[in-house]
């Protein structure tokens, strides 16, 4: 199988060509981002956002508070970061997201005529496939974070600095920056889903990130579900599991 199958669609063949030959460790980056969120929830200072020379000393007020969660806090904003954080981040991080998606997908199969095969969610995959799922999930999280338009140039610069602290993979850093800067396009993001389980995980992560009281974010979520071609019953089950996970 070509390495192209394990890379996210960026909309730029030139960027894909530059990345070819180097598998980006998105899963490791996501796990570190989630750990930052868990540390924020538990009251622990993030190692990447403390110290006089760190980005944590650059801002105060609302944005400064978001920095307490490092790159995740900046990307999502404090309210979203805490919503995504909750028990999913505290008890298992990225793997826990797969567990919730597995439960939702299994319930959906039992209640519908969908094939009753074992769902191949993130928590049950070997490393290459888990990496592909992680790329898709991170794209979904970045897209959902941009849905309210809160990420300005200054925040984007700070996020880039935080990502550089978390990974030395320059290809991954460049990809992350490109994802932040590109126009928001639910159809483009949805094209990363190459399996039904991956689509379910992307939607679940997005539901956990968006503020459904915000019209722009709610509209984005609806369009993403349409582009992912989610069965309405599966969409409802994912939303139900997201509510339960956030309420733990």
Mean pLDDT by 10 residues, the chain (248 residues): 40 44 71 71 50 31 43 65 53 79 93 84 91 94 88 86 89 92 96 96 90 87 97 95 76
pLDDT at position 197 is 94
- Residue 154 maps to a domain: yes
Is the residue at 229 inside a domain?
Answer: yes
Domain range enclosing 25: 9-246
Give a yes or no: residue 173 inside a domain.
Answer: yes
> Is residue 39 situated within a structural domain?
yes
User: Is 109 a domain residue?
Assistant: yes
Asked if the structure places residue 144 within a domain, the reply is yes
| Number of folded domains that form the chain | 1
pLDDT digits 0-9 by tens, 122-152: 999 998 899 999 999 999 999 998 998 878 8
pLDDT recorded at residue 103: 94
DSSP the chain: --GGGGS---S-HHHHHHHTT----HHHHHHHHHHHHHHHHHTPPPGGG-STTSGGGT--HHHHHHGGGHHHHHHHHHHHHHHHHHHHHHTTHHHHHHHHHHHHHHHHHHHSSS--PPP--GGGS-HHHHHHHHHHHHHHHHHHHHTT----HHHHHHHHHHHHHH---HHHHHHHHHHHHSPP-HHHHHTT--SHHHHHHHHHHHHHHS-TTSHHHHHHHHHHHHHTT--HHHHHHHHHHHHHHHT-
Q: Would 3 be classed as within a structural domain? A: no
In a domain, 2, yes or no: no
pTM reported for the whole predicted model: 0.78
């Amino acid at each position: 199988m070509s390495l192209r199958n394990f890379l996210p669609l960026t909309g730029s063949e030139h960027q894909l060509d530059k990345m070819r030959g180097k598998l980006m460790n998105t899963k490791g980056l996501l796990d570190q981002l989630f750990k930052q969120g868990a540390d924020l929830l538990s009251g622990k200072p993030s190692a990447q956002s403390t110290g006089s020379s760190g980005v944590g000393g650059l801002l105060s007020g609302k944005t400064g508070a978001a920095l307490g969660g490092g790159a995740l806090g900046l990307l999502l904003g404090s309210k979203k970061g805490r919503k995504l954080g909750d028990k999913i981040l505290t008890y298992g991080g990225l793997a826990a997201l797969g567990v919730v998606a597995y439960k939702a997908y299994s319930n959906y199969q039992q209640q519908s005529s969908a094939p009753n095969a074992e769902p191949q969610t993130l928590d049950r995959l070997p490393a290459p496939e888990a990496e592909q799922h992680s790329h898709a999930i991170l794209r979904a999280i970045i897209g959902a974070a941009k849905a309210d338009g809160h990420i300005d140039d200054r925040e984007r610069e700070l996020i880039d600095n935080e990502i550089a602290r978390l990974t030395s993979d320059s290809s991954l850093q460049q990809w992350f920056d490109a994802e932040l800067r590109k126009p928001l396009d639910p159809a483009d993001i949805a094209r990363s889903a190459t399996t039904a389980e991956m689509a379910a995980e992307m939607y679940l992560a997005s539901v956990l990130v968006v503020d459904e009281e915000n019209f722009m974010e709610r509209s984005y979520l609806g369009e993403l579900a349409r582009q992912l071609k989610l069965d309405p019953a599966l969409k409802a089950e994912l939303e139900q599991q997201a509510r339960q996970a956030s309420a733990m």
